[in-house]
Amino acid sequence: MSTAASQIRLLLVEDVPQVAQYVRGLLNAQQQVRLLDVVSDGRKVPGLVKELRPDIVIVDALLQGKVRGLAVAANLREGDLRLPTIVLTVPQNPVQRDPSKGVDYVLTMPFSGYELINLLQTVAAEAEASKPEGRSFVYSIFAPKGGVGKTTIAFNLAVALAQLGDVKTVLVDGSLQFGDLRSLLRVPADTPSILDLPTDRIAESDLSDVLWRDPSGIDILLAPPRVEMHEMLTVRDVDKVLSILRRVYSVVVVDTPAAVGEMAMAFLDASDVIVEIVTYDSTTIVNTRSMAEFFRSIGYPPSKVRYLLNRADSNGGIDPASLVASLGREPEFRLTSGGALVVESNNQGIPFVLADPAAQISAEMARIATDLMALASAGVAEPVKRRR
């Protein structure tokens, strides 16, 4: 199924006629979702799924009968069906999202038609993106301290990834408050930003009017032009934006803010791989160690984070062995300082990988891009959500 061009095929598992009729009424007024059937007996669900081949199943958590609602969801996850499942519930019966038990998403009554359609489209897009043949990848460039070259690395990595072949790449300025990429590229103040995307439903066509077409060949979704404007964005906005970008681009690179707040975590949660920048700097090393403990506490596996040692040729008097000991492993990637090339390229707003492709730092960045894509191709890069 291509969610951009096809209807979403839905199966509803519901034994309360009034609820089933309400959902039917919401869906009758639109064309994006086709309700295949309503089934009230949980025992019939596996057979109907194989027969009707829905894209998404909605199950009422309060479903009665031989097989209760949550058991239906669990059975779908344990079998070979592996369909995205939305569990319907009420405030008096809270249900926690738990994909391991088949509860991929939770929808609480009462809900509007917009909420229902938007959730179905989001679920379908994520399911489409997770297929091996249509998978896109999100790489977030993160640093627990400023001044370590994060934005420069994000920009050049995005360009290097785009140069690998038919890799359609977009760079997101996730530093929503200060717009680091706006500064680096000296983009005009009136250039559209993430704020110019619709606040309700985002379509692929909306992107063309908002994205900055960089001369380097990549598209860039810029942060708001003024500091106070970041407050107009919500985590839900970020989730919707990343969902549509995954549908359009093979690779999404995010330049994240250094502060670990709600928005930063929205980007990090959605990432297949977090490339964390570390340097031979005592404060950076301490902060990196603290972040490793934090990531572990929220359920990120070590494989979700890959360390990039920037300015690897300048240890500043710090023993390289102590850095490895602090990280608990060797950094996966290394970049030399690049010297005048990086400074001059940044001053001109162009990527150093294009300014001098033969330079050592450019070759190193190209290898990092190749290695990251190899991780994705091998299935090592997997989106892992945090424990909540």
In a domain, 3, yes or no: no
157 and 118 share one domain: no
Residue 160 sits in a domain whose CATH number is: 3.40.50.300
306 close to 157: Cβ distance less than 8 angstroms: no
Domain boundary among 72, 99, 132: 132
Tell me how far apart the alpha carbons of residues 141 and 343 are, in angstroms, rounded to a whole number.
20
SS3 state at 275:
strand
227-249 pLDDT tens trace: 888 788 888 888 888 888 887 88
Residue 124 sits in a domain whose CATH number is: 3.40.50.2300
Question: 341 is in which domain, residue-wise?
Answer: 135-377
330 and 257 share one domain: yes
pLDDT at 217: 87
Q: What are phi and psi of 75, to 5 degrees?
A: -65, -35
139-155 pLDDT tens trace: 999 999 888 999 999 99
How many structural domains does the chain have? 2
303 and 363 share one domain: yes
In a domain, 46, yes or no: yes
Total-model pTM: 0.67
285 close to 324: Cβ distance less than 8 angstroms: no
pLDDT at 3: 36
143 and 116 share one domain: no
- Roughly what angle, to the nearest 10 degrees, separates helices 150-162 and 360-377? 70
140 and 125 share one domain: no
122 and 140 share one domain: no
* pLDDT over threshold 90, residue 351: yes
Domain boundary among 79, 103, 132: 132
CA distances from 175 to 92, 140, 247, 295, 325 (A): 38, 11, 22, 20, 30
296 and 192 share one domain: yes
- Cross-strand partners of 278: 309
Domain boundary among 84, 110, 132: 132
Measured from the Cβ of residue 118, the count of other Cβ atoms closer than 10 Å reads 18
In the chain, DSSP assigns E strands to 8-13, 33-39, 56-60, 85-89, 105-108, 137-142, 169-173, 212-213, 219-221, 251-255, 273-278, 305-309, 333-334
Tell me how far apart the alpha carbons of residues 49 and 192 are, in angstroms, rounded to a whole number.
44
In a domain, 2, yes or no: no
206 and 299 share one domain: yes
121-142 pLDDT tens trace: 888 887 776 654 456 899 999 9
CA distances from 84 to 49, 58, 288, 384 (A): 12, 9, 35, 16
In a domain, 385, yes or no: no
In a domain, 384, yes or no: no
290-328 pLDDT tens trace: 999 999 999 999 889 999 999 999 988 899 999 999 899
122 and 148 share one domain: no
